Structure formats: structure tokens, C-alpha cells
Amino acid sequence: GNSVTQMEGPVTLSEEAFLTINCTYTATGYPSLFWYVQYPGEGLQLLLKATKADDKGSNKGFEATYRKETTSFHLEKGSVQVSDSAVYFCALRDSNSGYALNFGKGTSLLVTP
Amino acid sequence: DTAVSQTPKYLVTQMGNDKSIKCEQNLGHDTMYWYKQDSKKFLKIMFSYNNKELIINETVPNRFSPKSPDKAHLNLHINSLELGDSAVYFCASSHQREPKNIQYFGAGTRLSVL
């Protein structure tokens, strides 16, 4: 079946450091890919998405490129801020479950001043 | 205005009770979902529903049942609650078709079964 694997956390970075959170997927066909962010005590918010190979999603300084050849959708940001501290989820849209989201296990990010 | 709203935000109850969580969306979406987030933050789909089709994750016990009185609401009923049901439950909604199929999430309901 379809699945998403993302790097284990927690990840701790100093402010202004470079961030990479790895995400790879297994799927039949070419599903849409997403990054969602969950701030403490809140629901999930869409951070960015990509719907086909070589698409780059970007938002709030975060970027991720849909790489079909490596089945990856790694999240990057050039300079993190304390306010970026949250849990980040990589997900794919799964046609096998009514087009619900199939999530990775989440990566907790803590950015220190 | 809140796009996807769930009530209650917190729910504390005893084992064996029956409880419901309500979800409403004002986005005009045709599809709604329930997800369960466990203590390790792992999110898993429970149900996907639009006015034509209900898709149930096969791992969900039949004590859980979604009920949709209309397109804007998808409530979650849970019978005979067990300790393992303690989790955060998220409702979400979207259009079914690309490119408008971004899912919007509620703030979650934290269920604690004692």
C-alpha cells in the first residue's frame, strides 16, 4: 500500500540555521504530496503542496520539490526562526482511502534563540 | 469565521460510556474526514465521507461510526469507550477533486478515557 516515511525527530536547531526534513514515499501512480505543520495545541495547517513531478511547493520560506526519480519530497528552509518550532508532517493523497491523507509519523522541530 | 470547527475541545469520560464529537465546516466542501492522532503524534485516517460514499479504514473498530446529517456536518459517535480510544481526534474537509482538494483541519478534540 501507499506509505510515507519521514526522518525521526526531534530536531533541534539554533535560530538562522538551515533546515532539512527528509520525506520519501511509496505509492502507485503519482499522488499529490503535502507538508502540514502543527503548532503546539493546534490543528494542522497546510504548509505547501506539489501535485506532479518536478513541482516545487513553497510558503513562508519553506520549499519542497516533488522528485519522482527518488520518490522524495524533502522540506527545506534556509534560515529557521523560533516561531518555526512545531511538528511537521509529510503526507500523500491516497486514492485507496477515499483521497484521505496518508501521513508520515511527524518530525518535531525545536528552534532555540 | 472558523472554517472547520469541532466540539468539544476536551472530552473526559469513563470507560464503557458512549460519546459524540461534532464537526461542522462552512467552506462548501463535499468531502469530510476523521483522523486519529495517538500519543506519539501519529495521524491516521479513520473515515472519508462525501454525499456518495463512506470509506472506512479497516482498522477502525465498529464501535466508531460517522453520522452526517448534511453536507456541512460529520459527527463521530463512539460506543463503549475503551482506554485505548484516548487520543486527539481531528475533523477535516476538502473538495474531492484536484486542484481544490486541500484539506482543512479543525483544532482537534482531546479525548481522555478513564
Structure confidence at residue A28 (pLDDT): 83
Please report the pLDDT score of residue A59 as a whole number. 97
Q: A70 to chain B, minimum CA–CA distance in Å? A: 24
Contact A33, A98 (CB under 8 A): no
Mean of per-residue pLDDT scores for chain B: 91
Interface residue ranges in chain A relative to chain B, Cβ cutoff 8 Å: 32, 36, 38, 42-46, 49, 51, 87, 89, 93-94, 97-103, 105-106, 108
Distance between the two ends of chain B, CA-based, in angstroms?
Answer: 34
* Among the listed residues B92, B61, B108, the one whose alpha carbon sits nearest the alpha carbon of residue A46: B92
Cis amide leading into B8 (omega within 30):
yes
Phi, psi of A56 (to 5 degrees): -115, 125
User: Which residues in chain A are contacts of B35 at CB distance < 8 A?
Assistant: 100-101
**Cross-strand bridge partners of residue B21:** B76
Which residues make Cβ contacts (< 8 Å) with residue A58, sequence separation at least 6?
Answer: A48, A64
- Mutate which: B103, B109, B110, vs A, most A CBs within 10 A: B103
Q: Is B60 on the interface with A (CB under 8 A)?
A: no
| Confidence category of residue B99, pLDDT binned at 50, 70, 90 | low
Higher pLDDT, B96 or A24: A24
Q: How confident is the model at residue B25 (pLDDT cuts 50, 70, 90)?
A: very high
Residue B100 has pLDDT above 90, yes or no: no
Chain B segment 64-83 residues within 8 A of A by beta carbon are none
Q: Where are the beta strands (DSSP E) in chain A?
A: 3-6, 11-14, 19-21, 23-26, 33-38, 44-50, 56-59, 62-65, 75-77, 86-94, 100-103, 107-112
* pLDDT single digits (tens) A11-63: 999 999 999 999 999 988 888 999 999 998 888 999 999 998 999 999 999 99
